[in-house]
Structure 1
Amino acid sequence: MVAAWVAAAVSVLLLAMVIFAAVMVTAAFRKSIIAEEIFISKLPAAFDGFRILFITDIHRRRLPEALLAPLAGQVEAVFLGGDLTEKGNPTARLAENMKLAASLAPAYAVHGNHDYKANTALADNIIRGSGIRLLMNENVFIEHNGQRLMLTGMDFPKQGGKKGYAPLPPVAPHDTPHFRIILVHDPLWLAGQKAVPADLILAGHTHGGQVVLPFGLQMHADPFYRTYNAGMYSIPRKDGSGGEAKLLISRGFGTAHLPLRWRSPAEMHVLTLRKGSGRDNN
């Protein structure tokens, strides 16, 4: 009797583990786009309604053409937030992904930590060859309806860590922008900044924890991630203006190491920029 009870309990436990693993794999390979509006008071009026496709942490996944191709002509820019590939990822898959992203709208990208673990020179040639602008501590201006904003792409430091980043690229006095977006792979970059030098920051890297543990336990060691893990945040600029910046940390499309997720499903984003506080829209 005891042996039969133990065998039954083990069978139930194994079945539960199989089901749990299946749920985590399903979440890891989810194909969904989150559409959201970002209200920013300093946004140039010409950019009200400007749409950005934001994808980060692709790793070795294949971007879904059936889901993304209809966005051609529906978004004004594509921002890729790093970890576009990883060691061992087929170069043909990276090429297909980059070709698809570049076909949708003018596209911009930054490196992530896993991009430096792959054959970086080859990967960079593929990225640039597809027509994507790879930003390595650079500013570019995006023009729309007669006005412009500045996009700054911060390169992930090859040696890692929050102190290894290059300083922000300089801005000529006559080019000082009224509105700036910073694209950076790891939001931990912010921990090394005395002030927030942008109106909007887009980041990834965290995977939202990827497998979210109970009791508030964190996969990441740095306490920064206990506050800034995934989602949208408003943070003080600390530049004397008294204003706030918006920070979006994506859970990313791919996974690091094992293709498993729990309580942090894969995601991509279509971000619509809106001028204003958004308070009147709640």
Structure 2
Amino acid sequence: MAILMITAAFRKQIIAEEIVLDRLPPSFDGFRILLITDIHRRILPANLLAPLRGKVDAVFLGGDLTERGSPIERLLDNMKLTASLGPVYAVHGNHDYKANISLVDNIIRGSGAKLLEDENLTISRGGARIILTGVDFPRTGGKRAYSPLPQVEAADEETFRIILVHDPLWLSQQNEVPADLILAGHTHGGQVVLPFIGRRHVEAFYHEYSAGTYELPASRGPATPVRMLISRGFGTAHLPLRWGSPAEMHVLTLRCRQK
């Protein structure tokens, strides 16, 4: 069984799926995002990702791009590869802060990626705009001590918004979420999900929100629920073992809801 768990931990797969969104601007219909979270110590597979060059509109890196003790050259190579595929937007995870964060940040930014630390930016396409908000993992004060969600200009309050956050537990600290789509990782889907025992998450939150897609109560009117995707991530924490929660990356195609 140990061999099977190690094999599962080093699995290489890209999950392709469409996400239908009520308020997506029509010019963003078909916008494709490569989402990768929780790389940790792994080497991103060039043979799997290189064919996506020019076929994705953005690369979102959802934190834990490295970890303490991982070769810094590995982060350099991983960032160089992702930057060759399209515009890269990244947020910190908890393990990034356990590494040499100044060096990590220099490498991320040096690759040309936009590192979002509680910041908004706009992405334009066909005359329309969407807002991407990157939520920074708490640098100090524990995993619940998040900074307030960065505000948008009054003129953009109704603009379509994506939130990229490492740990979906952030959601439990929010009274409302003025967004249309949340992309997260951190959970590893439980990483080792055993029969009859299930996921060994300590936080009750993760038993409800572990991995996959979710529909959350609307923050922008009763007809527009918030969609959330939690990735199982590509790497592993602590031990290179997985069971019942395979490693994954995602190509997400955004779609307008047909009316």
The match for 2:64 is: 83
The structure 2 residue matched to 1:168, chosen from 140, 149, 159, is 149
Give SS of 2:34's match. Answer: strand
Question: Which letter maps to 2:188?
Answer: H
In 2, Cα distance between equivalents of 1:238 and 1:137: 20
Q: Shift in Å at residue 238 of structure 1? A: 4.2
Q: Does 1:115 align with 2:133?
A: no
- The alignment yields a C-alpha RMSD, in angstroms, of 1.4
Give the greater-gyration-radius structure (CA): 1
The match for 1:263 is: 244
Query: 1:1-282 maps to which residues of 2 (within 5 A)?
Result: 20-159=1-140, 161-238=142-219, 240-276=221-257
More off after superposition, 233-242 vs 107-116 = 233-242
Give SS of 1:214's match. Answer: coil
Give SS of 2:213's match. Answer: strand
Q: Shift in Å at residue 149 of structure 1? A: 0.3
5+ residue gaps, structure 1? 1-19
Q: TM-score with structure 2 length normalisation?
A: 0.96
In 2, Cα distance between equivalents of 1:229 and 1:47: 28
In 2, Cα distance between equivalents of 1:161 and 1:239: 30
In 1, Cα distance between equivalents of 2:148 and 2:233: 26
Q: Shift in Å at residue 214 of structure 1? A: 2.7
In 2 relative to 1, CA 239–48 (structure 1 residues): closer, same or farther, beyond 3 Å?
Answer: closer
Give SS of 2:251's match. Answer: strand
Q: Is the 8 A contact 2:219 2:226 kept in 1?
A: no
CA offsets per residue over residues 205-235 of structure 1, 9 Å max, x none?
A: 0000000023254322111111100001111
Question: Which letter maps to 2:47?
Answer: A
In 2, Cα distance between equivalents of 1:228 and 1:43: 24
Q: TM-score with structure 1 length normalisation?
A: 0.89
Tell me which protein shows more helix as a share of its residues.
1
CA offsets per residue over residues 27-78 of structure 1, 9 Å max, x none?
A: 1001110000000010000000000000000001000001101101100000
Q: Is the 8 A contact 2:22 2:224 kept in 1?
A: no
Give SS of 1:104's match. Answer: coil
Q: Is the 8 A contact 2:61 2:90 kept in 1?
A: yes
Give SS of 2:60's match. Answer: strand
5+ residue gaps, structure 2? none
Q: Shift in Å at residue 86 of structure 1? A: 0.1
In 2, Cα distance between equivalents of 1:194 and 1:129: 36
Q: Shift in Å at residue 99 of structure 1? A: 0.6
In 2, Cα distance between equivalents of 1:180 and 1:213: 36
- Give every structure 1 segment of 4 or more consecutive aligned residues whose post-TM-superposition deviation is greater than 6 Å: none
In 2 relative to 1, CA 248–180 (structure 1 residues): closer, same or farther, beyond 3 Å?
Answer: same
In 1, Cα distance between equivalents of 2:220 and 2:31: 26
User: What percent identity do the matched residue pairs reach?
Assistant: 66
Give SS of 1:53's match. Answer: strand
